[in-house]
Structure 1
Amino acid sequence: MSIVRPTPEQLKELASSLHIQLTTEQASQYLDLMQASFDAYDVIDGLPDEIPAVKYPRSAAARPAAKDNPLNAWACKSTVKGAAEGKLAGRTVVLKDNVALAGVPMMNGSSTLEGFVPSYDATIVTRLLDAGATILGKATCEHFCLSGGSHTSDPAPVHNPRRHGYGSGGSSSGSAALVAAGEADMAIGGDQGGSIRIPSAFCGTYGMKATHGLVPYTGVMPIEATVDHVGPITANVRDNALMLEVIAGADGLDPRQYAPEVQPYTAALDRGVRGLKIGILTEGFALGNMDKRVADKVQEAIAQLEKLGASVATVSVEEHALAGALWQPIGCEGLTMQMMHGNGMGFNWKGLYDLGLLQHHAHWREHADDLSATLKLCMFVGQYGLTRYQGRFYAKAQNIARRARAGYDKALADFDLLVMPTVPIIAQPLPAAGCPLAEYVARAFEMIGNTAPLDITGHPAMSIPCGTVDGLPVGLMLVGKHYAEATLYQAAAAFEASMDWQQH
């Protein structure tokens, strides 16, 4: 096969886009010199791609009828039965719809990606199936995952299973909703600003954003590699720890992974909290939109941990707000470059690239007006930073992120865990169709004040349900040292065993 060679006029236009001016004669001369490079492109074009083999058969995929999808939480159903034996034998799993499942459509919440079908399974999918899980299909997620609400997904908003007409949280909206509704035992979610923990808090599930890089992101559509996380959402602590045991660890393909330290997480579940030092993060209760009822419920949960034998004291991490501010240039400029200009893949990293996703997602430019308001907002901020300041603030924010991480590390040198509300509010009513832009955006980002900072610093953070306010779940967030997920599970299991959060 041969790639298409440019004409002299096309090369002149290309050069102009690079701020270089060529005469027609110069363009012809350069074209002659470019032929050897293009010959190499021809060789590559003629070779098969290097992608993993698909190990397990799957049924045809289809979106359930409306009557069978009252929460709008299913993107599509397709059954994939894993190995006959394993840690997850007999367990059912649903995948966030930004996770590659070969032969099953993937929209990532956006109509602009409709029609894309992955050709291979994500690493975590293969690990789940090898461990005996049965995958039931894909869960709806928010538009390219750019929302903490559940009203920004195509084709329809996701409802909270505990109160219809209310948000389930995002961006892993369908994942948490289906687990909370009992339609799946476990789910995979993704987290760049809180997208595992926010829906877990709103729906009353257990959501773990593990240390950055602990779980391989290979085969999951990226937003920004330095904040990309993927992990488990479950109905109980044991399932969460078990699922993390299965999916954690290096795969040799994900550049986010730096020799991740894996532990037998389920071994920590019966240790109790006696002797654990827990720091109540002052800044975590100081958000401007903190609902006092939520704060009080979390304080009651902390008192319960103290009653169980933990040592509890307040602690301040001044960098908490700083880490939240750092998310803006890192998240907005990073996603604009990697997810949008880089067609979902970006450049300058070794690993497994999804050519089909890259090619399909590249067509967003032809349908840019159809992108969600939340994504457009982040793109406008990101592109302005890239164009006006040449990416200076992205670079500086990445440098300062080390300072933010050090602030948490300093507190965690004195405490085993930090605790705070996962989100400052309970689930809110879904905005009406056609609501003002300001309301649409506010409902998408009003809850990320405590969650986004931990995506910047990479610390493990887990949301556990700790009670209710007005009949809706409240989430308590546990934060630990890098690769100390076992300590989070230790505390979460002790709290879970001590009380029924739904009666509290």
Structure 2
Amino acid sequence: MAIVRPTLDQLQDIAGRLNMQLTHEQAAEYLALMQPSFDAYDLIDELPDFTPPVRYDRSSGYRPSNPQNLLNAWYYRTEVNGAREGKLAGKTVALKDNISLAGVPMMNGAAPLEGFVPQFDATVVTRLLDAGVTILGKATCEHYCLSGGSHTSDPAPVHNPYRHGFAAGGSSSGSAALVAAGEVDLAVGGDQGGSIRIPSAFCGTYGMKPTHGLVPYTGIMAIEATIDHAGPITRNVRDNALMLEVMAGADGLDPRQAAPQVDAYCDYLERGVSGLRIGILLEGFQLANQDQRVADKVRSAIARLEVLGARVEEVSVPEHNLAGSLWHPIGCEGLTMQMMHGNGAGFNWKGLYDVGLLDKQAGWREQADALSASLKLCMFVGQYGLERYNGRFYAKAQNIARFARAGYDKALETYDLLVMPTVPIIAQPHPESDCSITEYVARALEMIGNTAPQDITGHPAMSIPCGLVDGLPVGLMFVGKHYAEGTIYQAAAAFEAAVDWKTL
């Protein structure tokens, strides 16, 4: 059907918003000249959209009630059975609720998206089903994925499996909680500031943020394309490596991917760490809110790696702190433009756009006051940078990010891996529902100091559990060269085989 044409008054209003003034006569002349363009719009409107075929049967499912959802970690339950054979046959998986599963609601932890139902499966979903998994549903995630705590989701706060009322981490909160609680074998998370690794550290799971672009992000709601990552969360290293083998590789639809280097990650699991060079990243132990008990647990775990034959020594990488600072203009201005003004899509990239999601996300403007405080904060910073400085700090930060990557790369010429605490603290209590904005934001962002830098530099990083403090898990993080996920798995598997982390 024909699209609605603007009136003369509307065209004059549009011109005014573009800082132009049109007379009535000029507007009429331009309006006539615009008609061939609108005729092309009509043609496009009549054509069917391109959407990948849905190859596996599923029901729309249901939203579980509290007796079935004690951790609030499920957003939606369904069952989608994959291939009968494959690397992951017999395994169950939960999908972070920013990942499209055709026919099943997706809310991304945010009320403006409630009621949205994707029409196609994300690439990672199809690949997992082809490998034999059974998808059991959508895991709760934080409000537009803008929190490292687990109190911001519009469905409900997600509870830590080790202590009710405490943070499960975010933003892949439900994903890690469900794996840790044994409700699923595997989960898929997303990571723009630590959202795979933070919940893995808080919940005692294994969470891999792969090299940027290794895993296609197609069919996953974007925050900011240069820091968008997706990866596996599991209860053991082997399952994690298997998942990455299944999910990794170009799909021809994601512009985040150039020529990703895929590896046989399970081949690294039996190699041990003898002779492996590991640099203890000093800056990773120097965050202002570092809990010394967490630091001690991580140091103790590193000592175990040394006993196993790794060559360990301290190293300084000042660019670690630089990368953390770069996250603010890149993350805040980028998400304000792509996820909010760009309705979850933005412009200027070739790939698979979800037009239905774009239409639904546009409704955030009618519910803007209900956006989470952590998202509002990022938007205020981003909008100010865009309006007052025309995006120059975003642009400059992207340029300088090369120096941050080079700092890691230089250290990784000497060391096979860098190691540090995943997060500086253990899981904290959920804030009260009537808490101040300051407390709400603090509980959402206080833990990202070590995890955000690798989203800027694109290096692979994995959190593994390495002990308990006050009965709550502690995470150790490995960082490797670009596409050196295999080396990370090599060290993680050696530690897992030698140590019962819960006894440390």
Corresponding residue of 1:292:
292
Question: Amino acid of the residue matched to residue 105 of structure 1?
Answer: P
**SS of match in other structure, 1:462:** strand
What aligned pairs does 1:128-139 form with structure 2 within 5 A after superposition? Answer: 128-139=128-139
Question: Amino acid of the residue matched to residue 131 of structure 1?
Answer: A
Corresponding residue of 2:302:
302
Mapped partners of 1:145, 1:434: distance in 2:
21
Corresponding residue of 2:189:
189
Mapped partners of 1:258, 1:27: distance in 2:
44
Corresponding residue of 1:157:
157
Corresponding residue of 1:207:
207
- Residues 62-113 of structure 1: CA distance to partner in whole angstroms, max 9, x if unpaired? 1111111010000010100001111110000000000000000000000111
Mapped partners of 1:110, 1:69: distance in 2:
19
Corresponding residue of 1:469:
469
**SS of match in other structure, 1:419:** strand
Mapped partners of 1:72, 1:275: distance in 2:
44
Corresponding residue of 1:355:
355
1:173 aligns with 2:173: yes
1:94 aligns with 2:62: no
Corresponding residue of 2:37:
37
**SS of match in other structure, 2:367:** helix
What aligned pairs does 1:175-254 form with structure 2 within 5 A after superposition? Answer: 175-254=175-254
Unpaired runs of 5+ in structure 2? none
Post-superposition offset of 1:59: 2.0
Corresponding residue of 1:344:
344
Question: Amino acid of the residue matched to residue 22 of structure 2?
Answer: L
Post-superposition offset of 1:503: 1.2
Corresponding residue of 2:80:
80
- Residues 135-173 of structure 1: CA distance to partner in whole angstroms, max 9, x if unpaired? 000000000000000000012100000111110000000
Post-superposition offset of 1:114: 0.4
Question: Amino acid of the residue matched to residue 171 of structure 2?
Answer: S
Post-superposition offset of 1:61: 1.6
Mapped partners of 2:320, 2:259: distance in 1:
26
Instruction: Please tell me whether the aligned partners of residues 123 and 216 of structure 2 are also in contact (alpha carbons under 8 angstroms).
Output: yes
Instruction: Please tell me whether the aligned partners of residues 468 and 474 of structure 2 are also in contact (alpha carbons under 8 angstroms).
Output: yes
**SS of match in other structure, 1:150:** coil
Corresponding residue of 1:452:
452
Question: Amino acid of the residue matched to residue 395 of structure 2?
Answer: A
What aligned pairs does 1:396-415 form with structure 2 within 5 A after superposition? Answer: 396-415=396-415
Instruction: Please tell me whether the aligned partners of residues 59 and 103 of structure 2 are also in contact (alpha carbons under 8 angstroms).
Output: no
Mapped partners of 1:109, 1:423: distance in 2:
23
Question: Amino acid of the residue matched to residue 75 of structure 1?
Answer: Y
1:276 aligns with 2:276: yes
Corresponding residue of 1:437:
437
Mapped partners of 2:379, 2:305: distance in 1:
42
Mapped partners of 2:258, 2:281: distance in 1:
28
**SS of match in other structure, 1:119:** coil
1:372 aligns with 2:372: yes
Unpaired runs of 5+ in structure 1? none
Mapped partners of 2:476, 2:486: distance in 1:
17
Mapped partners of 2:284, 2:6: distance in 1:
56
- Residues 289-346 of structure 1: CA distance to partner in whole angstroms, max 9, x if unpaired? 0000000000000000000000001101011111000000000000000000000000
Mapped partners of 1:9, 1:428: distance in 2:
55
Question: Amino acid of the residue matched to residue 364 of structure 2?
Answer: W
Question: Amino acid of the residue matched to residue 387 of structure 1?
Answer: E
Post-superposition offset of 1:60: 2.8
- Residues 202-246 of structure 1: CA distance to partner in whole angstroms, max 9, x if unpaired? 000000000000000000000000000000000000000000000
- Residues 341-390 of structure 1: CA distance to partner in whole angstroms, max 9, x if unpaired? 00000000000000000000001001101110000000000000000000
Mapped partners of 1:59, 1:374: distance in 2:
34
How many residue pairs match? The answer is 504
Instruction: Please tell me whether the aligned partners of residues 196 and 208 of structure 2 are also in contact (alpha carbons under 8 angstroms).
Output: yes
Question: Amino acid of the residue matched to residue 229 of structure 2?
Answer: H
